[in-house]
Structure 1
Amino acid sequence: MAELGQSIYPTLGIAEANRQLDEAIRVGCRHLFTSLHLPEASVDDWREVRRLLERAAQAGMRIAADVSRASLAQFDADPEHLAPLAKLGIEIIRLDHGFTMEETMRILRAEQFTFQINAGSMNRDDVRRLEKEGVELSRLIAVHNFYPRRETGVTIDFYRRQNRMFREFCIATGGFVPSLTEPRGPLHEGLPTVEAHRRLRAAEAAAELIAEGLTDIVYFGDPGPNEKEWTAVSHVVSGLIPLRVKWIDPLPPELEPLLADVHTSPWDAAELVIRSPISKPFVRERGFDPVPRNTFERPLGSVTMDNTRYIRYFGEVQVTRTDLPADERVNVLGRVIPEDRPLLRHIGSGMRYAFVAID
């Protein structure tokens, strides 16, 4: 199961960063990524940055900080003396420019920290070299970059290929999704890892990152997701995909508990539909007989129930993954709204999903 993180950039404005931290704490976010050396930013009072980091740590957030040699100095730290970072609550360090290879290797051996390594620039030989140099791989997290400039993000195939490689070494992985609410300046183009996610809804981008169990932490790259984005992505990374549905007719009272429940796609997931293993037993136990009704065409995203004409198979709830023809044995109950239909392709074996009724 993946976890959700937020990115905050105090060097772009401490008041706004504190507001964003308040929101992240309110929604129960457990991971914080921050960069302390943005080239376009200057900081008047580093004491305020320290206070923000301390507040995040007191709230129980696991802080990952992208640092340079210059930003280390602002905290009275250097490559030989990293203890001041730990006092601020920083648990995870990501090294940026300005460190020699010798310094990098020495820092990576520092036992009080976990380290983020650049997931997009390493191969198997690089990982083996770290291991040979005495770096404990269990203290590494391979996190991909985000890409502020349009057209420079990676492909989802590259992202997955790299993460499969890190999985071979039991190294945790992470990536970034954008927020469409408040893209970070100065370009305001979103901060995704995968280029195809730049203008995609955050929930769909997150679902694609965590597919196949290949991502451990999904960070918002942009600092200001709204509540809807927080809620949707929180569900997705926890392994539950919410599907907003418009029901065609009012639901029979007997079916309301079933269709308000959480469903799990079976391990032998079907190609054309998403099945609900709990639906047939539910219907049989309550003696509900779904008579033929609304047996019309089933375009992608149709929520259906097999009726009594399916003999002993009646009662199963399904969601269509593709356009299917009308079948007199299948009732159409409702439709997943168009905005949520792209999520259907991410409901694979063992993935949980739930219907959210809308008017």
Structure 2
Amino acid sequence: MLGFSVYLHNSLNQEDIKIFHKFVDAGFKGVFTSINLPEDDPKVLLKNLKKLGNLCFENQLELTLDISLSALKRLQLDLSKNIKIFQQLNVTMLRIDDGISIEEVAQLSTKMKVALNASTIERPDIEKLKLLKADFDNLEAWHNYYPRENTGLDKEWFEARNQWLKDNNFRVMAFVPGDINLRAPVYKGLPTLESHRYQNPLSSAIAMKTMNVDRVYIGDPALKDSTFEQFKQFFVNDILQIRANFVDAPSYIEQVFHQRADVSQDVVRLREGRSLNQAIVLPLNNHLRSRGAVTLDNRLSGRYQGELQIVKRQLSADSTVNVIGQVVDNDIELLNYCIANQAIQLVDIGS
């Protein structure tokens, strides 16, 4: 499940609502927000939370609210007495931060979904929740995001942690960063994994699917329009959209192709390439093929003329192969997800 973040320190303006609907259109199904920042005005927070809750209800999105004991005190709320307020605001899950006891978590879980801190929950906590008859169907484990560079989680630790959480029947959530309008005050993205901080958000989101993550949320409040389109194509239409710069490319280069069922070690072979080619391909640009090079076999390759490939690792020059394009640096990692029969669309960013 995909989700995104909305922050409540300012009123939701028309631009915020426009971005909200871009996420919805791209297939996102959940929203994360927080009331934990001490500098935020409690009255403004509750007003904006109500507006956000209504938007989520209208668009059938889940709304998760990050809470802490100090935030509840600032808003003069008591979890044991005011749970209905959150439900009336269309909050579907509470993400528990500092100061809230295991006893309160167990009680809350009998009334609504509750997300625990994925990094800090331990075996004794789980045993205590069982003794307190918590509803484990309503419990999930959510990782933090890490605004400061070099503080994001280690991938190996993260994978091992997620396996332990899954072994204990938790659904797992993690954040990947956005790529525009990065959140203040650090402006370095909001990833869970440090290795994702400056990656394409789509490649990070797909990677999370391989690491026992059930929910992937964008930590920052926005994505570039081209990234929205990549998410929509992949998660709604199952098309992996890869951007590239082209020179002397055939007219059909931006149609939807498919990786062959038999996956090659060195290249992505686009199975429709040869059947689409109706012209004599003259030898041109027969230079070294770097990772991400898009190539077209020329007439010297005989029956392979017209074969379209994307190079997965550096290959030497070949007189039978023309280099017609290069995948942009930010999309190179997407080559890792060109699995068997994957639909792939090459987008010429120069067109």
Which residue is 1:90 aligned to?
91
* Alpha-carbon distance, 1:51 to partner: 3.0
Matches within 5 A, 1:249-260: 249-251=248-250, 253=251, 256=252, 259-260=253-254
Residue 185 of structure 1 aligns with an amino acid whose one-letter code is A
For residues 97-118 of structure 1, give each alpha carbon's deviation from its aligned partner in whole angstroms, at most 9, with x where no partner exists.
22222112221232xx222222
Compared CA separation, residues 245 and 144, structure 1 to 2 (3 A): same
In the alignment, is residue 65 of structure 1 matched against residue 55 of structure 2?
Answer: no
1:132 deviates by 6.6
CA distance in 1 between counterparts of 2:304 and 2:78 reads 67
Contact 2:150 2:194 (8 Å CA) reproduced: yes
Q: CA deviation at 1:145?
A: 0.4
| C-alpha distance in 2 between matches for 1:51 and 1:264 | 43
| Cα shift at 1:123 | 5.5
Unaligned runs of 5+ in 1: none
Q: Give the distance between the partners of 1:335 and 1:345, measured in 2 at CA.
A: 16
Q: Secondary structure at the match of 2:240?
A: strand
- Quote the Cα distance in structure 1 between the aligned partners of 2:139 and 2:202: 26
Q: Structure 1 pair 229/304, CA: closer, same or farther in 2 (3 Å)?
A: closer
Distance 2:42 2:272 in 1: 56
Aligned residue identity for 2:317: A
Q: 1:176 aligned to 2:175?
A: yes
Matched, 1:199 2:198: yes
Q: Distance in 2 between matches of 1:142 and 1:213?
A: 14
Report the equivalent of 1:37: 36
How many Å separate the matches in 2 of 1:166 and 1:266? 36
Q: TM-score, normalised by structure 1?
A: 0.80
Tell me the residue number matched to 1:24: 20
Structure 1 residue 168, shift from structure 2 partner = 4.3
Q: Is the 8 A contact 1:137 1:169 kept in 2?
A: no
Alignment of 1:8-157 (within 5 A): 8-10=6-8, 12-15=9-12, 19-28=15-24, 29-45=28-44, 46-69=46-69, 71-72=71-72, 74=75, 78-79=79-80, 81-110=82-111, 113-122=112-121, 130=129, 134-157=133-156
Query: Which letter maps to 2:226?
Result: K
> For each residue in 1:21-64, what CA deviation from the matched residue of structure 2 results, as whole angstroms up to 9, or x when unmatched?
44212442431100112123233343343233223322322111
Q: Which runs of 5+ in 2 are unaligned?
A: none
- What secondary structure, in the 3-state scheme, does the structure 2 residue paired with 1:82 have? helix
Distance 2:169 2:259 in 1: 27
How far is the alpha carbon of 1:94 from its aligned partner? 0.8
Structure-1 residue corresponding to 2:184:
185
> Match of 1:327?
318
Q: Following TM superposition, by how much is the alpha carbon of 1:349 offset from its aligned partner in structure 2, in angstroms?
A: 4.8
Q: 1:200 to 1:88 in 2, by over 3 A?
A: same
* Residues 177-234 of structure 1 deviation map (CA, whole Å, 9 limit, x = unaligned): 2234222223333221112333344334334333x26433322212243433433344
For 1:273-331, what per-residue CA distance to the aligned partner results, in whole angstroms no more than 9, with x for missing partners?
Answer: 12224445x44xx8x47645334432221222445655565554221011111234434
Aligned-partner residue type, residue 243 of structure 2: R
SS of corresponding position for 1:206: helix
Matched length: 343
The equivalent residue for 1:344 is: 335
Distance in 2, Cα, partners of 1:156 & 1:331: 38
1:273 matched to 2:271: no
**Partner Cα separation in structure 1 for residue 12 and residue 321 of structure 2:** 56
Q: Which amino acid aligns with 2:219?
A: G
Distance 1:172 1:108 in 2: 14
Please give the alpha-carbon distance, in whole angstroms, between the structure 2 residues aligned to 1:235 and 1:323. Answer: 28
1:221 aligns with 219
Distance 1:278 1:142 in 2: 43
State whether residues 283 and 300 of structure 2, in contact with CA within 8 Å, keep that contact through their aligned partners in structure 1: no
Q: Alignment partner of 2:92: what SS?
A: strand
Greater CA deviation, 292-301 or 307-316? Answer: 307-316
Counterpart CA distance in 1 for 2:67 and 2:169 is 25
Mark the CA change 1:123 to 1:68 in structure 2 (over 3 Å): closer, same or farther: closer
Give the Cα separation in 2 of the matches to 1:105 and 1:55: 29
Q: Which amino acid aligns with 1:96?
A: D
SS in 2 for 1:270: coil
Secondary structure of 1:231's partner? Answer: helix
Alpha-carbon distance in 2 for matches of 1:125, 1:204: 36
Percent identity, aligned pairs only? 24
Cα distance in 2, alignment partners of residues 155 and 312 from structure 1: 47
Query: Is 2:96–2:117's contact at 8 Å kept on the other side of the alignment?
Result: no
Secondary structure of 2:42's counterpart equals: coil
Cα deviation, residue 243, structure 1: 1.5
Question: Does the 8 Å contact 1:184/1:223 carry over to 2?
Answer: yes
